[in-house]
Chain A
Amino acid sequence: MTRLELRQVRKRFGPLEVLAGVSLNVAAGEFVSILGPSGAGKSTLFQLLTGAEKAEGEMLFDGAPLDDHGSRFAFMPQRDALMPWRRILDNATLGLEVQGVPRRAARERVAPLFAEFGLAGFERAWPAELSGGMRQRAALLRTVVQERDMLLLDEPFGALDALTRAAMQRWLEAMWRRHHWTALLITHDVREAVLLSDRIYVFSARPARIVSEIKVPLPRPRTADASVAREAAVLEAGILDTLLGATDPQPSAQRRPKGDDHD
Chain B
Amino acid sequence: MAVPSIPLSGGDTSGPSPRGGRSAVSSAIARAAPAAVSVGLLFAAWELYARYGGVRPTVLPAPSRVFGQAWENREALMDNAIPTIRATLAGFACSLSAAFLFSALVDFWPSLRRALFPLLIASQTLPLVAIAPLVVLWFGFGLLPKILLVALVTFFPMTVALVEGFGATEKEIGQMLRAMGAGRWRVFWLARLPSALPYFFAGLRISVTYAVVGAIFAEYAGAAKGLGIYMLNAKNNFRPDLVLAAVGVSAALTLVLFGLTVLVQRLAMPWERAAAERGGEGRQ
Contacts and interface: CB of A to CB of B under 8 A. Distances in A.
Interface of A: 47, 50-52, 69-71, 73-79, 81, 83-85, 94-95, 98-99, 116-118, 121-122, 125-134, 137, 146, 152, 160-161, 164, 167-168, 170-171, 174-175, 177-178
Contacts of B182: 98
Interface in B259-280: 269-271, 274-275, 277-278
A52 B175 contact: yes
A174 B6 CA distance: 14
Contact of A94 (B4, B11, B190, B277): B190
Contacts of A122: 12
Given A84-B275, A167-B7, A171-B4, A134 B12 contact: yes
Contact of B194 (A83, A95, A133): A83
Contact of B284 (A98, A127, A133): A133
A121 B176 contact: no
Contacts of A51: 178-179
Chain B interface main SS type: helix
A259 B121 CA distance: 48
B5 A131 contact: no
Contacts of B274: 125-126, 128-129
Contact count band on B? 35 or more
Nearest to B271: A126
Given A77-B172, A131-B12, A133-B8, A50 B179 contact: yes
Interface of B: 1, 3-5, 7-9, 11-13, 15-16, 170, 172-173, 175-182, 186, 190-191, 194, 197, 269-271, 274-275, 277-278, 283-284
Nearest to B11: A131
B117 to A, nearest CB: 26
Nearest to A167: B8
